[in-house]
Amino acid sequence: MKLLILCVTLAVLRSSLGINPATEEEEWQEWKARYGKSYPTDEEDEDRRNVWLENYDYVTAHNARNDVTYKMELNKFADELSPAISYPDHEEVHEEIVVNDKSAPKAFDWRKKGVVGAVKNQGQIGYAEAFVAAECVESLHAIQAGELFDLSAQEVEACCREFLQLPIENDVFGCIHKIGGLCTVATYIPSSKCANASCLPVAQTQGTKYVPKNDEGALLEALLKVPVFVTVNASPQSFLLYKSGVYSDPQCTGRNLDHVLQLVGYGTDEEGNAYWICKNSWGLDWGMEGYVNIQRGVNRCGIAEAAKYPY
Ligand SMILES: *[C@@H]1O[C@H](CO)[C@@H](O)[C@H](O)[C@H]1NC(C)=O
């Protein structure tokens, strides 16, 4: 139903904006080549092309606006419509959250301390939770021991699977503690069952600390200790197609927490838009080299709904 409304909206947009038909074919072929896309049948090619066209108009209309704080692009997801679009019927009112950061620095970025690993690509159906849990242990260990390892998300997935399901009041770091810590990607031998005995764990954690719900001041305090595991709503189409800037789509509320990110820093742009710096697991070719800056102070995308970190 809501998906239908979106399609109708996009269809209306398309008729008013319209991509030049002469360049449409060329751009479609170029886009497919850039992202290595090919479809098994002409019919699917046609279907995907229609979705891509909707996204083309959506992105073009958005990027032409000068009252938005972020850009979108026709990235590798441009032939998809978000499977879980959950646009609210009317915009939810958010109370401004006062971030009590008088004593905190104006900006902070754990990447500059060398404690954040490379951006991963979880693939279409991977467990983002496993990646982010491994990344948070990686960062904790790097802060404590000065060595940054590439820890095995596959080990987290195989050994702590029941702790990865949303919602995220799950003690995944307690599970990692129970299995003796994590091994590196290079030494963990994937198997259908938990194979924690197949390798030597190199990074430990004692358990999970939970950040008080909907409290971005507390989230900031937690972040100053260690990068944080945050749960977000990543279902709006604008999130899939995010390119750069401060992501602030009002439709991105905390209603549908369906994805997780590693929160690694915060700042404020030249126009005064405050943001959180988050590492995604959709590859380097998404967003800002794999990162997204999410609007700070209004619980955008539910970023402060279910945050936690290892200690
Ligand atoms: C593997 O995990 C189990 C708990 O599932 C634990 O008792 C055991 O010590 C772990 N083995 C290693 C080598 O860490």
d(CA 96, CA 114): 33
Alpha helices in the chain (DSSP H): 2-17, 21-34, 42-64, 128-145, 153-159, 172-178, 216-225, 237-240
The Å distance, Cα 153 to ligand 1 centre, comes to 16
pLDDT in tens, the chain (311 residues): 344 444 444 444 444 456 677 788 999 999 999 999 999 999 999 999 999 999 999 999 999 999 999 999 999 999 988 765 544 444 444 555 555 556 889 999 999 999 999 999 987 556 899 999 999 999 999 999 999 999 999 999 999 988 887 556 789 999 999 999 999 999 999 888 999 999 999 999 999 999 999 999 999 999 999 999 999 999 999 999 999 999 999 999 998 889 999 999 999 999 999 999 999 999 999 999 999 999 999 999 999 999 999 99
Which atom of ligand 1 lies closest to the CA of 200? 13
Which atom of ligand 1 lies closest to the CA of 199? 13
Among 196, 199, 202, 204, residue to substitute to test ligand 1 (most atoms within 8 Å of Cβ)? 196
The Å distance, Cα 159 to ligand 1 centre, comes to 10
d(CA 102, CA 100): 6
Do 213 and 305 touch, CB atoms closer than 8 A? yes
Is residue 85 within 6 Å of ligand 1 at its C-beta?
no
All domains of the chain in start order, with CATH: 2-67 (no CATH), 108-310 (3.90.70.10)
d(CA 246, CA 229): 19
Do 167 and 231 touch, CB atoms closer than 8 A? yes
The Å distance, Cα 123 to ligand 1 centre, comes to 28
Is residue 88 within 6 Å of ligand 1 at its C-beta?
no
Is residue 195 within 6 Å of ligand 1 at its C-beta?
no
Is residue 251 within 6 Å of ligand 1 at its C-beta?
no
